[in-house]
């Protein structure tokens, strides 16, 4: 679908769907994601619903998967009608999650970053980096990227993938020798590293007045990227506070550390950035409502453009009260996952 519509258009559209759903925040039933951890990684379920739609995402995180030629993270999701409980869409969400994560980052930055921001440091140049860069380029006008990764091949991959945007003059990318060099003088800093440990990717002295920090990589218990001193001097904005306190940069802070909710800023109930010197921080962990927004969008596009196919994952029953008869009906078509 991304090849048909284009990544920029999809992220712009998803941003609008996410904004619409965040403005209806109080109409949704919400909970932190359910996570099952093992020595190999984590498998999570992320549900959310309102009176009309229910959605969930199944997502994993297995750091050693690339050694098996498997993705570190993969996901799929379901969108269902609340009135019947029946699913209307089963979709991949590996690529769609990258799109919606970048769209949410750009949405938050639109109310938190300084107007006129043009340069962004991207620390961590792995799977999410291109999506983040294109979202900020197309929606905030970012045209200068300072990139850094401990793995030089990740930066080379990112530059190669974005070469068409460099060639046409929409982006300038400088590969930095350190996180400090990347961050120096940037309007926005995006941290999006993959190591599942508490680490200090960004130190307090690297953050200058007026910067907006887009902290994306800290997304599970025991994983952070920013020094706690940075949160102390920032206005911290979160998606869903109960989840962020478990998984985000916020897990480093005391339970009474004050934060603001993104949905309230979008709705005008709370103020975002107040001056050009303020440091703002979006502590992004990814929330199920963003997946519902993405699934709503994908369902609309699939319906309009006749993309996808119908599959029978619920048996068709001649008599909805006779499950045994359906099970014994040799003509019934059941989909068995391989």
CB proximity list for 165: less than 8 A, separation 6 or greater: 134, 137, 171
DSSP string, 82-109: TTT--EEEEEE-HHHHHHHHHHHHHHHH
Number of neighbours of residue 195 by Cβ within 10 angstroms? 13
- What distance in Å separates the CA atoms of residue 335 and residue 321, rounded to the nearest whole number? 20
Q: How far is CA 88 from the centre of its chain?
A: 23
Dihedral angle, C-alpha 97, 99, 105, 106, nearest 10 °: -160
- Does residue 14 contact residue 105 with C-beta atoms inside 8 Å? no
Tokens 């009135």 sit on residue: 83
DSSP string, 237-265: EESSHHHHHHHSGGGGS-TT---EEHHHH
- The catalytic site residues sit at 219
Q: What DSSP designation does 205 have?
A: G
Of 297, 308, 300, the residue nearest 97 (C-alpha) = 297
Phi, psi of 47, rounded to the nearest 5 degrees: -100, 155
- Does residue 288 contact residue 56 with C-beta atoms inside 8 Å? yes
User: Can you name the residues that pair with 55 across neighbouring β-strands?
Assistant: 48, 79
- What distance in Å separates the CA atoms of residue 326 and residue 318, rounded to the nearest whole number? 7
User: Can you name the residues that pair with 280 across neighbouring β-strands?
Assistant: 212, 235
- What distance in Å separates the CA atoms of residue 180 and residue 282, rounded to the nearest whole number? 20
């Amino acid at each position: 679908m991304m090849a048909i519509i284009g990544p920029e258009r999809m992220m712009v559209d998803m941003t609008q769907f996410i904004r619409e759903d965040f403005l209806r925040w109080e109409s949704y039933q919400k909970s932190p994601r359910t996570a099952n951890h093992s020595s190999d990684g984590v498998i999570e379920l992320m549900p959310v619903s309102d009176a009309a739609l229910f959605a969930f995402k199944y997502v994993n995180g297995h750091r050693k998967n690339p050694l098996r030629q498997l993705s570190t993270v993969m996901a799929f999701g379901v969108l269902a009608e609340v009135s019947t409980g029946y699913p209307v869409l089963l979709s991949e969400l590996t690529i769609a999650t990258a799109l919606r994560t970048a769209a949410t980052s750009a949405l938050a930055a639109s109310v938190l970053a300084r107007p006129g921001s043009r340069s962004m440091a991207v620390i961590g140049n792995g799977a999410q980096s291109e999506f983040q860069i294109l979202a900020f380029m197309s929606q905030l006008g970012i045209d200068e990227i300072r990139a850094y990764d401990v793995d030089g091949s990740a930066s080379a991959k990112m530059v190669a993938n974005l070469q068409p945007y460099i060639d046409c003059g929409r982006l300038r990318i400088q590969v930095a020798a350190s996180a400090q060099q990347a961050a120096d003088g940037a309007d926005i800093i995006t941290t999006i590293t993959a190591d599942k440990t508490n680490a200090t990717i960004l130190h307090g002295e690297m953050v200058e007045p007026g910067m907006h920090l887009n902290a994306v990589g800290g997304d599970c218990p025991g994983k952070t990227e920013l020094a706690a001193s940075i949160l102390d001097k920032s206005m911290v904005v979160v998606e869903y506070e109960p989840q962020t306190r478990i998984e985000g940069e916020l897990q480093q802070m005391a339970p009474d550390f004050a934060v603001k909710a993104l949905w309230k800023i979008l709705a005008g109930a709370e103020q975002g950035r107040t001056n050009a010197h303020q440091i703002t921080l979006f502590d992004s962990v990814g929330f199920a409502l963003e997946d519902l927004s993405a699934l709503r969008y994908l369902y609309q596009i699939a319906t309009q453009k006749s993309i996808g196919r119908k599959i029978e994952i619920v048996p068709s029953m001649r008599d909805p009260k006779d499950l045994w008869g359906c099970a014994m009906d040799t003509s019934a078509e059941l989909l068995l996952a391989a």
